[in-house]
Amino acid sequence: MHANLARRMDWLRASDIREMLKVTQRPDMISLAGGLPAPEIFPVAELAAAAARILAERGEVALQYATSEGHVPLREKIAARMNRIYGTSFQAAEILVTTGSQQALDLTAKLFLDEGDGVACESPTYLAAIQAFDVFHPRWVEVATDDDGMDPDALAAALTANPHLKLVYVIPNSQNPSGRTWTLERRRRFMEVVARHPVTVIEDNPYGEICYDGEPLPSLASFDTQGQVICLGTFSKTVAPGLRVGWMAVRGALFGKLTILKGAADLHTSTLGQLVLDAYLDGGTLDENIRRTCAVYRERRDAMISALEREMPPGVRFTRPSGGLFIWLELPAGMNARALLPRCLERGVAFVPGGGFFPNGTREDTVRLNFSNMPVPRIVEGIRRLGEAVRELATGR
Amino acid sequence: MDRLDPQLEDRERTPPFGELRIDRTSEVPVYVQIRDQLRARIERGVLPPGAALPPERRLAEQLGINRSTVLAAYGALKADGLVGAHVGRGTTVLAPPLPERGDEGAAALPWRELVRRGPASREDPVLRDLLALAERRDVVSLAVGLPPAELLPVAELAEVQARLVAERGAETLLHSPTEGIASLREALAARAAGWGMRATPHEILVTSGSQQGLDLIARVFLDPGDVVVVEEPSYLGALEVFRRAGARLVGVATDGEGMRVDLLEGLLSRHRPKLIYTLPSFQNPSGEVMSLARRQALLALARRHQVPVVEDDPYRELAYEQPPPPPLAALDGAASRPLGSPSGSANGVTIYVSSTSKILFPGLRVGWIAAPAEVIRRLSLAKQSADLHSPTLGQWVVERFLREGLLDRHLARVRPHYAARRDAMLAALAPAAALGVEWTRPRGGFYIWCSLPSALAPSRLLTAAAHEGVAYLPGSACFAEEPTGGHLRLNFTALAPAELREGGQRLLRALGTALTTAAPAWRASGSGTRPIV
């Protein structure tokens, strides 16, 4: 059947993440490779109670077909939460519930991208977004990004040089993979730049509430005067990933178009998952659970940073994220992370080589480290082994 | 705020709403007339940003129309982003999305240019109105494709769910593999083996409902301009997915034995299709079953022309008399492999798509595909991009229902109910024969398919049915191209027999009305997009 496949499928490359997860399933492996939240922090008992309540009281609704837009009370809660935390002004009618935020990326790509259309992104950017968009053969424009966020002058230059750019995809809060959070000033200037161009901004925000130092900063959408920003959100990091409930907040005429695409993709998102989440949110323990989660992750982040300071040889640079799940590492000049990986796997520690996070594939001297999924002693030991491997490779042994 | 902006009244001598004209003889629905006139005024600046539209009730009185019609018009304007509704302020005209800043500021985004040039959204306003109608409480809806809520095994599910959480805890809430949890893939392979299929667990992909299965197949196989052969009639959700992928649909007629395979060979030679799409067992929408001989002939043709067959089979287990012939995927495997060769479907031409939505819980969104491993691998990559994986808890629930025999028990319980409902619906339809209406007598599945006499315009029946308070799926949505005659799809599973009889009576009255008089137009606006399945 090979010959019958659509031509666009030739572009799909085997996923780095997929290959990686195979190795990390070994129980003795210290995995700093995944992007997973820590399972022990999920509110399992509360979700189970919410599910039991839903099934007892409204089982017939929870298990039937439902509208493509999503469960209305849940959409109301999502809008209210976004508006409260991120200074936006979305209404429930502007929230489209999706099967995880991955589906939101997919629907976005389906709606906007024809072959050769331009997509601007931070450099590096989220691997699964690259994959979701790559299915539609876009042209990627990587925009210089530093510890304060995307460089607005570089973005302005990119938009001027590429008049056919359709989307700007960004993760301003504790980005995956870099861990960087944009400053308030950069957010303002970013919006000033994009407002002068007919592009749509996809603001992906899975980690905004996973915030260890201070409060989350306002969403790009809070500066948006033209309905130019589409916000993506998810409960995968704050409640549980297996529920597969995410959303997109969209103004104006695009909402209807996305709803039609959503219906064609899977009719609607699991009703049970939506109602369970809605009931869980009614319980009012989400904020408390997020606080608890952040306390656990903060300790792990701190442990990883001090281990990195201790173990890494000179020439290694790394980010100090204020939230999220990842630290980004730049290896000494000339060192290739793909060459480093086998030496680390031998030592029983795994990470994701950073090259895959650059859609145009330029930087192989980078590493993404996850700190949320391993207890502190394992993190400390993992970084010790990583430091050993880096030093060994640097001295050419 | 009932008053219009005073500034506005200064500028315009006549009140902006005084001249709204309703033409009751027009084909254009009244709410569309109102919408278009208001839209023109907003676009010309007669109604500037901030201007309040009159309260619906007042405008309805002024124009002598139903308030719901005004609501529909306002709703349409709102959907277009022209007006907004605010508690306490009523409905007001919104500012066009212009930037605040000066000279080189961008104009409103040119969405039309920004979205894909590719196949556009084809939104059928009739279907939308129909679904809105089906939502009304006073309407008997035969338009849906639902199992009945009161027969869902909710208590069993609650028990299974509690047990799963107790035994597996957070695992039921965590990420799971893109292909589906291994134990469910094994259980599905075992069930398929019961129908003669030889798919191994790694030849199974769990999907978020069979709709996603179809969507994934479209992305993996179809480039714009490719041809897909579909039965006429066929499942409209599949037609929509194929169209959206840019495919050209070529219809092949069906009869009481399913697809007219005798017509297929010519189509395969002429159009060189990428896929053949069929629902051979208790088809949606016709309820018909493809005969064994036709199945074998279809497979032989597909093999000879090297065209994959997508077999959509969610109704197979809802047989009320005798079971349907084996799936194409079973016949395919048996024929294409010498006896004693290893199991698996590596040489098959069939991509088997199914779902638990019709036999268990639609809201769980658990469907599956069985296909050669090479195809499953590519579909999995596409699924990873589409939604990473299907919800974990729902997969575990289905796994338990399969392994603990709960599904079989449930099916044994509901089949007699469905059969009784089908009989009630058929009995209620009997008088329609005298009006020249014909229909199928399905031996399973969810639907009865009616063909209208040529003298009866389908649009007129739709209007009459709306007035009688009965909804159905108009058959035109189920064809590759506009059909010549009129058809209806009637669901008989979602409602109790008494409701079906009532719906049947309303439909008969509507048929009578539509055959004798011209009925006034009816339109509604909906509150959400109900999937049509």
Beta strands A145-146 and A139-143, pairing class: unpaired
- The total number of residues written for chain A in this structure: 397
Q: Is A170 helix (H, G, I), strand (E, B) or coil?
A: strand
Q: Which among B308, B385, B392 has the least Cβ separation from residue A106?
A: B385
List average pLDDT for each run of 10 residues in chain A, which is 397 residues long.
45 47 71 83 88 86 85 96 97 96 95 93 94 92 96 97 94 97 97 95 96 95 95 94 94 92 91 92 93 95 98 95 97 90 90 91 89 94 97 84
Choose the closest CB to B176 out of A166, A242, A271: A242
Please indicate whether, in this complex, the C-beta atoms of B158 and A128 are within 8 angstroms of each other. Answer: no
Confidence of residue B51 (pLDDT cuts 50, 70, 90): confident
CB contact under 8 A, B365 and A270: yes
Q: Do A64 and B146 touch (CB under 8 A)?
A: yes
Q: What's CA B220's distance to the chain center, in Å?
A: 21
- Residue B102 pLDDT: 40
Token representation of residue A273:
């998952």
pLDDT at position B411 over 60: yes
pLDDT of residue B124: 59
- What pLDDT was estimated at residue B505? 96
Enter the pTM of the model: 0.78
- The per-residue pLDDT for B519 is 46
The distance of Cα B480 from the centroid of its chain, to the nearest Å, equals 15
Q: In 10 A of CB A12, how many CB atoms?
A: 16
Asked if residues B456 and B511 have their Cβ atoms less than 8 Å apart, the reply is yes
**Helix/strand/coil for B24:** coil
Nearest to B116 among A67, A114, A198 (CB): A114
Record: contact A52-B158, CB cut-off 8 A: yes
User: How far is it, in rounded angstroms, from Cα B30 to Cα A223?
Assistant: 39
Give me the residue from B80, B110, B221 closest to A4, CB to CB. B221
Under an 8 A CB cutoff, do B152 and A63 touch?
Answer: yes
Tens digit of each residue's pLDDT (9 = 90 or more) over B308-322: 999 999 999 999 999
Quote the pLDDT of residue A10: 39
Distance from CA of B421 to the nearest CA of A (A): 19
The answer to whether residues A354 and A363 touch, using CB atoms and an 8 Å cutoff, is yes
Q: Give pLDDT, residue B9.
A: 35
Interface of B with A in 266-295 (CB under 8 A): 274-275
For B396-459, what is the HEC assignment? HHHHHHHHCCHHHHHHHHHHHHHHHHHHHHHHHHHHHHHHCCEECCCCECCEEEEECCCCCCHH
Asked if B111 and A110 come within 8 Å (Cβ–Cβ), the reply is no
pLDDT score for B107: 47
Convert the pLDDT of each residue in B88-124 to its tens digit: 678 888 776 543 434 444 445 565 556 666 554 455 5
Phi, then psi, of A204 in degrees rounded to 5: -90, 130
Q: Pick from B35, B351, B415: which is nearest to B203 by CA?
A: B351
B236-293, pLDDT tens digit by residue?
Answer: 999 999 998 999 999 999 999 999 999 999 999 999 999 999 999 999 999 999 999 9
Q: How far apart are CA B120 and CA B106, in angstroms?
A: 25
Q: What is the b/e burial string over B303-323, where b = at least 16 CB atoms within 10 angstroms of the residue's CB?
A: bebebbbbbbbbbbbbbbeee
User: Nearest-5° angle of CA B466, CA B472, CA B473?
Assistant: 120
Does residue A290 belong to the interface with chain B, where contact is any CB pair within 8 Å? no
Residue of A nearest to B210 (CA): A266
Instruction: Evaluate if residue B332 carries a pLDDT over 60.
Output: yes
Token readout for B164 is 């799963």
Q: Above 60 in pLDDT, residue B12?
A: no
ipTM of the prediction: 0.79
Residues A36/A300, Cβ–Cβ less than 8 Å: no
Span B335-389, pLDDT tens digits: 444 444 444 555 689 999 999 999 999 889 999 999 999 999 999 999 999 999 9
Q: What is the pLDDT of residues B449-504, one digit of tens each?
A: 999 998 888 888 988 998 999 999 999 889 998 888 899 999 999 999 999 999 99
- A113 CA to chain B: closest CA distance, Å? 5
Q: Which 388-407 residues of chain B touch chain A by CB within 8 A?
A: 388-394
Q: CA of A26 to nearest chain B CA: how many angstroms apart?
A: 16
Confidence band for B6, pLDDT divided at 50, 70 and 90? very low
DSSP letter for A5, please: S
State both tokens at B10: 């200064």
User: CA–CA separation, B427 vs B295, rounded Å?
Assistant: 31
Segment B65-72 mean pLDDT = 84
- The one-letter code for the residue type at B351 is I
User: According to the 3-state scheme, what is the secondary structure of A311-360?
Assistant: HCCCCCEECCCCECCEEEEECCCCCCHHHHHHHHHHCCEECEEHHHHCCC
User: Quick check: A112 and B80 CB within 8 A?
Assistant: no
Kindly indicate the confidence band of residue B27, based on its pLDDT and cuts at 50, 70 and 90.
confident
The residues in A 367-396 lying below 8 A from B, measured between CB atoms, are none
Calpha distance B398→B525 (Å, rounded): 36
Question: What type of residue is B316?
Answer: R
| Residue B97, C-beta contacts closer than 8 angstroms, at least 6 positions apart | A225, A226, A227, A252, B81, B108, B109
Question: Inter-chain contact A59–B389, Cβ cutoff 8 Å?
Answer: no
